[in-house]
Chain A
Amino acid sequence: MTPEYEFHQRDRDIHPPAFTPVYKTSVLRSPRIPLWSLQNSLSEITGPTFSRDELGPLDNDLILNYAKDGKPIGEQTIVHGRVLDGNGRPVPNTLVEVWQANAGGRYRHRNDTYIAPIDPNFGGCGRMLTDDSGYYFFRTVKPGAYPFRNRVNSWRPAHIHFSVFGSGFAQRLITQMYFEGDPLIPHDSIMATIPNKSAAERLVAKLDLNASLPLECLAYRFDIVLRGSRQTLFENKLHGG
């Protein structure tokens, strides 16, 4: 009945605050009353588990998982890395989901009306489970930059959205990954919501030439860290583990 562990308090200083006028949409969608701090119960340390048979064999291959009469246009790219927790331990068998625009910066979404064309062979989403060492990888085409309605002339740098679960629902995280060297990053209003510069830099994936496939595919490396946890050592000892 006693939770074996609980998550470390979330360090809110490395996350964007809720209210960030530089990103205008946040203004009306940000609670003004402080969050109530809630010590972990079973409801927070547990969370959904997923199995490999729920996923299809091409779910992590965005080059092939929506291919109709050919492959999508764009720079063939591998993104890979590990999901770790704050203690440095791998997070195995956790669900990682990704979505992105196509190489022209257009999303396959009924609400996206940008002038860049839809790519008939690109869906723009994928998913995978980490292995026992927390490792994940997927293949895709590098997304394009696109404009969005924020300031008069706001553009998003190329990015891939990530959703990650972890072992407990309190670790739930959605974020975005950027590409090393993108000149739009310093101008991005979404990146600018993160006040801590070194935290923001951790969202920029590094070019990983060693993992690139010669004559075939570039690679970028993106490690993800979820909240760590504390074992309740004293209680375990007292009760004989």
Chain B
Amino acid sequence: MSDLYLPETPSQTAGPYVHIGLIPNQAGFDIFANNFSGDIAGPDVAGERVVIEGRIFDASGHIAKDVLVETWQANAAGRYYHPADRQDKSLDPKFRGWARTGTDFETGIYRINTIKPGAVAGRRGRKTMAPHVSFWIASRGINVGLATRMYFGDEAAANAGDPVLNIIEQPERRQTLIAARSEQKGQTIYTFDIHLGGERETVFFDV
């Protein structure tokens, strides 16, 4: 590291009580008037309503029940709510695109109520990326937050051409990022389990 730049502040684990700061209701108390949540598809948001849910497993196959889950995604037209996204697509003023939740202390399930994003231009405007949701997870035992992506199982053609999935050398490992679609009780569910280690270890990215 050259002294031309300031070195980044090092990461530390979010610890077992991450909920206090970031999702205090799950910690067991109410403090802020306005809370961030995993329900981000309000009534005025454009797009197909979908539920993303799953569990997070440790390397021994046990469910991790204290994990913070954050997601970031484009709107239904495929544009991010951010000034650096200058794609010629419509912005949705009601959709920030960011969700935060935790895996449940009893079941280990996390759940995000959102909309399905559109496809986004790839790096430097080249190959279009298939619709996807960026994940970032942090918890006790995770020293640096882990970044991954979820792709949609019903987008086989787009996924086959996705420039990010295709840089993953082993084709079978790409499958760890693809969520199966199902219909349950009138809802569209994408099931996205994350494996922190073990034989089915999820692909994580150094972004």
Contacts and interface: CB of A to CB of B under 8 A. Distances in A.
Interface of A: 1-5, 7-18, 20, 23, 25-33, 35-49, 54-56, 59, 65-66, 84-88, 97-99, 107-112, 123-125, 127, 161, 163, 167-170, 172-176, 190-191, 193-194, 196, 199-200, 202-203, 224-228, 235
A36 B167 contact: yes
B125 A1 contact: yes
Interface residues of B, number: 81
Given A36-B204, A97-B21, A200-B10, A17 B143 contact: yes
B201 A32 contact: yes
Nearest to B7: A14
A41 B11 contact: no
A31 B197 contact: yes
Q: Chain B interface mostly helix, strand, loop or mixed? A: loop
A25 to B, nearest CB: 3
B77 to A, nearest CB: 13
Contacts of A108: 20, 27-29
B96 A29 contact: no
Would you list the 3 A-B pairs with minimal beta carbon distance, nearest first? Answer: A99-B21, A25-B141, A29-B141
A5 B122 CA distance: 14
B22 A20 contact: no
Interface in B15-43: 15-22, 24, 27-29, 31-34
A177 B122 CA distance: 37
B8 A163 contact: no
A99 B85 contact: no
B85 A54 contact: no
B182 interface: no
Interface in B112-144: 120-125, 129, 132, 134, 136, 138-144
Q: Chain A interface mostly helix, strand, loop or mixed? A: loop
Given A41-B123, A169-B136, A228-B6, 4 more contacts: A28-B58, A36-B168, A49-B96, A191-B12
Nearest to B203: A36
A28 B60 contact: yes
B189 interface: no
Of the candidates B9, B13, B80, B139, the one having the most CB atoms from chain A within 10 angstroms of its own CB is B9
Contacts of A88: 5-6
A89 to B, nearest CB: 10
20 contacts: A3-B84, A10-B207, A15-B8, A16-B143, A36-B203, A43-B72, A43-B134, A48-B97, A48-B98, A86-B7, A97-B22, A108-B29, A112-B16, A124-B21, A125-B21, A125-B31, A174-B12, A193-B143, A199-B10, A225-B8
A163 B207 contact: no
Nearest to B14: A174
Contacts of B14: 161, 163, 174
A28 B204 contact: no
B147 A109 contact: no
Contacts of A38: 164, 167, 205-207
A23 B141 contact: yes
A134 B164 CA distance: 33
